[in-house]
Structure 1
Amino acid sequence: MSTKKVSSESKKDKTQRRKSKTNRICKGVIINILKTFFTFFRLCMDYFVDFVLTLYWDGKQNAIPDLDKKHAILMESAVTLAEKIRKRELKSEDLVTACIERIKLVNPILNAVTDERYEDALKEARDVDKMIENGLSEEEFAKKPFLGVPFTAKESHAVKGMLHTLGIIARRDIRADEDAECVRLLRDAGAIPVAVTNVPEINKWQETNNMVFGRTNNPYNTGRTTGGSSGGEAALCAAIASPISLCSDIGGSTRMPGFFCGLFALNPTAGHTSLKGSALRSGLDPTMASIGFVSRHCSDLAPLTRVVAADCAPALQLDRELSIEDIKFYYMETVKDIRVSPIRTDLRKAMKKVLTKLTQRAKTTENVPKKYYHEGFNYCFNLWRHAMTKESENFAAMLTNNKGKAIGLIELGKKLFGQSEYTLAAIMKLLIDQLMPAVPADWAEQVTDDLREDLLHTLGSSAVLLAPSSATVAPPHAALYLRPFNFATWGVFNVLKFPAAQVPLGLNSEGLPLGIQVVAAPQQEALCLTVAKYLEQEFGGFVPPCKVPQQD
C-alpha cells in the first residue's frame, strides 16, 4: 500500500471526524435552544394558569379562626405536652378536649377529618389522668414517652374501628379491624388517636382530593392545595389542631404537605419503619416508602420517629449529637428534569438566604456550601416511575378494592359523562401507567446506582445536600393537573432511599410558606435534624396561618 493512499485515507477520516464533531455540536446547541425555549414557555404558562385560578379561588376563600387562649396550649410541642402531663401540670383530658374543640372549629373550613373517635379519646384521656394520679414509675413513663398526648393519622393508616377508605368509593364504608403497626406503636407510646384525615385515592396524587370526602384546603389560603398524600394531616397540624400528625411518604407524601403548609417534616431512611396496615400493605415487602411526621416543632421529629422505628431506631442514630460547625454543605438550586416546572424566584431567593447565612458563619473553607449536581437529577420522574414497578401495590387493582382493575381509557370516557368513580388525577395516573412506554429498566437502574454512589461518596457521614422542595409554593387547587410530575423533586430521594427533612423558611409576599429540603446519606437522620434545628433558630420556623395569643 502506497504512502500516498494511506495519507489520503487519513485525511478522509479526519474530515469525517470533524464533520461528526461539528454535527454533534450543532445538535447540542439546537437541543439547548429548544430546552431553553420550552422552559421559558412552561414558566409563562405556569404563571398564567396560577393567575387565572387564583382569580377564581380568591372569591371562595375562608380564613381559619384565630387561636384563642383556651386552646393556646396546642401551640406547644408534643414533647413539651407529654412532659407537662407527666409532671401533672396538664391533664390529658384538658389537652384532648382542646384538640377536639380546635378541630371542630377549623375542619368546616379545611375539610381534613374523615372520621373521629372523640368520645373514646376523652375516655382514654381520663384513664391516663387516673393512672398518673395513682402513681407511675419513671420506668413506666419511659415506656410511654407521649402518654396522654392526642394524635391524628392519615386515613390510609388503619386505626381500629375507624373508616379506612383510602379515598376510594369501593371502600367508602370499610372500617379497620386492627391498628396499622405505626398506629399501634404510637398507642403503645401512650398517644391517643382522635381522628383520621383525608388523602387522595390510594395516596397517589399531589393534592388531597377524592370522590368520597372531597378536597382538603390549605389553612394559609383555602384556594390553595395542601399537597398529598398527607394533606389532611398537614392542614390540621398547620391550623394548630393536632399535636402529633402521623404520615407516610413514597414520593413526597410527608414532605410535600409539610412544605405547602409551612411545617417541619422528616422522611426517614427507607426500610426502618413498618408499613404493615398502611395502605393495605403487609409490611413484609421491601419498599422505598417510610412512616414519618409533620410538625410545627423540629424538636418533635426525632422522638416521634424513634417510636415508629421501634427496634430499628438505633440504626438511625437519632440521638447522635452534632454541631453545625462539623457539618459540610452541598446544594443544588434546581433540577433539570424537563417534566418538572422551573423553580420560581421566591424559592430561589429562599435558598440563597440559607446559603448566605451558612457562608457567613463558616469558619473554614470546608464549611462554605459547595454546588453539587449529578445528571441523574435530569430524570427524577422516570427514576421514580421505574422504582414504583418494584413496589408490591397495584394502583389499578387497588382502585377497585382489588376486585378487578380500572382501565384508564375507559374511565376517561366515563369521566366525560360524569360516570366515573375516580377523580381526574387518578385517571391521569392510570393513563400514565398504562399508556406511557415503560422506563428502560437497565438504564434506570444504572442511573440510580450512579446517582446513589456519587451522593454517598459526596455526603458520607458529615455532609448534607440542600435541595429545592418544589418548583412553586402551594399552587391553586387544580393547577397540578397541568404539572403532574412536579412531585419528583421529592420522589427522587425516595428512590435513593435517603432520609430528607423538610424545613420551613417563613412566608413569601403572598403569605404562603417557603422552604427547602435537607438530605443526608442513609441512617444519617441526625445530620438532617441538626441542620433543620439550626435553620429553625435562624429563620423562625413555623409561622402560624392565624393570630395566636401572646405567650405569658
Structure 2
Amino acid sequence: MSITNSEKKDKIELSSNKPEKIFCGMVSNMIKHVFLIFRTYLDMFIDLVYGYFWEGKRKPIPALEKRHAMLAESAVTLAAKIRNKELKSEDLVRACIERIQQVNPIINAVTDERYEDALNEAREVDKLIESGLPDDYFQKKPFLGVPFTAKESHAARGMLHTLGVVSRRHVRAHHDAECVRRVKGAGAILVAVTNVPEINKWMESRNFVFGQTNNPHHTGRTPGGSSGGEAALHASIAAPISLCSDIGGSTRMPAFFCGLYALNPTSGYTSLKGSALRTGKEKSMASIGFISRHCSDLIPLTKTIVIADKAQELNLDRPVDVKKLRYFYVETAQDLRVSPISADLRAAMNRAITKLTEAVSSTDQAPAPYYHRGFNHMFVLWRYWMTHEEDVFAELLTNNTGTAYFYKEFPKKLLGMSDYTLPAILKLADDQVLPPVNKQWAEQLTKELTDDLIKLLGDDGVLLFPSSPQVAPYHYSPIVRPFNFAYWAIFNALRFPAAQVPLGLNSDKLPVGIQVVAAPRQEALCAAVAQHLGEALGGVVPPCQILQ
C-alpha cells in the first residue's frame, strides 16, 4: 500500500520530535528526582524541629492490671463469655470505666461519659442472662453486654455533640445517630464519646472545646483524625469496641498511627444519619467503620451497621482462602504534594510482599507491581469529590447560623481572636479562595482509575497500598505537610473498601503498617488478608505492659 506525501510528512515530523520528547522526559524526571530528594531532607528537618519540642514530652501509659486483663480480649470473645455466663457485663463495663479513668488524663480522649448509666444497663443485661434467654436473642444481639465508645461527631442521646466547634460547646444530642442505634441494638453498651477535630476535617484530634488528644505510643505525637480519640482510647486497651467514620482516612489514619486494625466499608452501605449532622439522605463517599486490636472483630462489627437491605450485596461472611487470591502492590505514588515514603514504611511493604509471595499457591498469584497515573493526583481527586459532599464546612463551623469566611477569620487568627483552629481556617481557604479542580479532567481520571482497578482486582484480587509516607507525626507538624493523608483519601474518592493493617513497631517503637484494598463490595477479602498479614508480621503491639 502506497504512503501519501502527507503521511510521509507526519512520519518525518514525529521522527524529528522524538529526540526532543526524550530530552524533555529526561529533564522532567531529573527535576522530579531532585524535588523528591529536597522533600526527603525537608521532612527530616521538620521532624528535627518538632522533635525538639515534643520528644521530651513522651509519657508512659499505665500497665494493664491483671484485674483489667479481660479488656485485652476481642469483642467477639467477650460477648461469648457474657453469653455463656463466664463473665458478667457489669464487671466488664466497670473494668472499662476504671481503665478509661487511668489513661484518659494522659491521652485526653474522652469528651463526655455515661458511666453510671452504663453500669445500670450492664446490671440489667446480667439479670436477663441469669433468667435465661433463647439462642435467637443472642443472634439478634451478638454483642450483648459489651461496652463501646463512639467518636463525638456521632450523635448519642444525652451526650455532648459538639463536633469540636466552639459554637456547639454545650449542645447535646436528642437522638442516637443511626450507627450508634445499630450498635446499641446489637446489645453493646455506650460508655463514652471521644474527641475529634472540628467537623472531622483534619489529621489531628484537636479543637478549642476539648483540647488535644495524644497518641499512646508517643504522647508527643498525634493519634490522627478524625477518629483520633477512638484510636487513642482503644490502643490504650480501654474500650473493646470503637465506632468511627471515614471520609478521607478518618478511620484508617488513626488506626495506623496507633497501631490498630481498621475496616472502611464500600461507601453507600452504611447509614450516615446523625453523624456530623447528616440526614442520612446525602450521597457521600463517607462510611461508618470500626477500629480494633483484633482483626477478627471487624467483620462481625461491620455486620451490625450495614444497611439491612444491602447487607447481602457485601457478602461479609464469604469464606476467603488467602492462598488463592491474586495480589498487586504500589510501593509509592508519584503525587508530588505528598512526602516520599519513609524507609520504615518501604520495609513494611516489602515484608508484606515477601510474606504473600510465600503464601500463594502459584507464581501467577505472586504480588505484582501496579501503576496508574491517577495515583499521581491523589489529593486533587479527593479534593474534587469533596465538593460533591452536601454539607457545607463554612456553615457547620457556625452551627449553621451563618457562614465563616477565610478573609475574616485569618486576620482574627493572627490577632488571637478566632474561635477556629488554623487547620479549620486553611480548610476555609481551600474551599473559598483556591481555584476549583477541573471537572472534566477529575471525573475522567477518576473513572479511568476506578474502571482499571475493578477490572484488575475482580472478586479475587487485592491491592497492597502504602498507608502514609510516615509514621505518626509530632503534634502540629501536619500543618506543614497537609497532603500526606492522600494515601487514604484516594480510596474514599474511588469508593473502594480498604483495611488498615498493623505490622508491628519501628526502631522508635512507633506503629508501622499498610493498607489492603479490594474492589467494591469485597470487604471480606480486605479483612482476610489483613488478618493473615497482621498475624504473620507483628500485628498490634500495645503501648503499655500487660500484667499477667
Please confirm whether the aligned pair reaches a TM-score higher than 0.5, indicating the same fold: yes
Tell me if the contact between 2:165 and 2:198 (Cα under 8 Å) persists in the aligned partners: yes
- Residue by residue, what CA displacement relative to the aligned partner does 1:273-329 show, whole Å, maximum 9, x if unpaired? 000000000001111100000000001000000000041222211100111111110
How many Å apart are 1:17 and its aligned residue? 4.1
User: Any residues of structure 2 matched to 1:456-475 within 5 Å, and which?
Assistant: 456-475=454-473
Higher mean C-alpha deviation, range 357-366 or range 482-491: 357-366
Give the residue type in structure 2 aligned to 1:157.
H
The offset of 1:98, in angstroms, is 0.3
Letter in 2 for 1:194: V
Deviation of residue 528 (structure 1)? Answer: 0.6
CA distance in 1, matches of 2:4, 2:130: 100
Alignment partner, residue 334 of structure 1:
332
Distance apart, 1:59 and its partner CA? 2.0
- Residue matched to 1:205: 202
Q: In the alignment, what sits opposite 2:433?
A: 435
Partner residue in 2 for 1:115: 112
2:174 aligns to what?
A: 177
Indicate the residue corresponding to 2:133 in structure 1. Answer: 136
Amino acid at match of 1:45: L
Distance 2:48 2:467 in 1: 22
The equivalent of 2:442 in structure 1 is 444
**Aligned twin of 1:362:** 360
**TM-score normalised to structure 1 length:** 0.97
Partner of 2:495: 497
Contact 2:322 2:360 in 1 (8 A): no
Written as runs of structure 1 = structure 2, the 5 A alignment for 1:82-481 is: 82-311=79-308, 312-481=310-479
The separation in 2 between residues aligned to 1:437 and 1:338, in whole angstroms, is 18
> Does the Cα contact within 8 Å between 2:345 and 2:513 map onto a contact in 1?
yes
Unaligned runs of 5+ in 2: none
Superposed CA offset, 1:132-169 (max 9, x none): 11111111111110000000000000000000000010
**2:152–2:160 contact (8 Å) kept in structure 1:** yes
Does 1:52 find its partner at 2:49? yes
CA offsets, 1:194-236, max 9 Å, x none?
Answer: 0000000000001111111111000000001101000000000
Aligned to 1:3: none
Q: Does 1:483 align with 2:484?
A: no
Residues 459 and 113 (structure 1), Cα distance of their counterparts in 2 relative to 1, 3 Å cut: same
Q: How far apart are 1:24 and its partner, in Å? A: 2.9
- Cα deviation for residue 174 of structure 1 reads 0.3
Per the alignment, residue 23 of structure 1 pairs with 20
The 1:368/1:13 distance shift into structure 2, 3 A limit, reads closer
Secondary structure, counterpart of 1:234 in structure 2: helix
Q: Which runs of 5+ in 1 are unaligned?
A: 1-5
Distance in 1 separating the partners of 2:536 and 2:234: 22
Q: What one-letter code is carried by the residue in structure 2 that aligns with 1:472? A: Q
Task: Tell me the distance in 1 between the aligned counterparts of 2:524 and 2:515.
Answer: 14
Residues 251 and 289, structure 2, Cα contact 8 Å, conserved in 1 = yes
State the percentage of identical aligned residues.
61
Q: Superposition RMSD on alpha carbons, in Å?
A: 1.5
Give the structure-2-normalised TM-score.
Answer: 0.97
Q: Against the structure 1 CA distance between its residues 121 and 432, is the aligned structure 2 distance closer, same or farther, given a 3 Å change threshold?
A: same
Tell me the distance in 2 between the aligned counterparts of 1:441 and 1:310: 31
Gap change, CA 1:182 and 1:10, over 3 Å in 2? closer
Contact residue 295 and residue 527 of structure 2 kept, 8 A: yes
Task: Give the counterpart of 1:530 among 518, 528, 531.
Answer: 528
Cα shift at 1:19: 4.7
Change (3 A) 1:34 1:197: same
Give the secondary structure class of the aligned counterpart of 1:294.
strand
Q: CA deviation at 1:12?
A: 7.4
Contact residue 465 and residue 514 of structure 2 kept, 8 A: yes
Q: Distance in 2 between matches of 1:516 and 1:434?
A: 34
* Residue 360 of structure 1, CA deviation: 2.2
Mean Cα displacement is larger for which, 340-349 or 33-42? 33-42
Change beyond 3 A, Cα 1:10–1:256 = closer
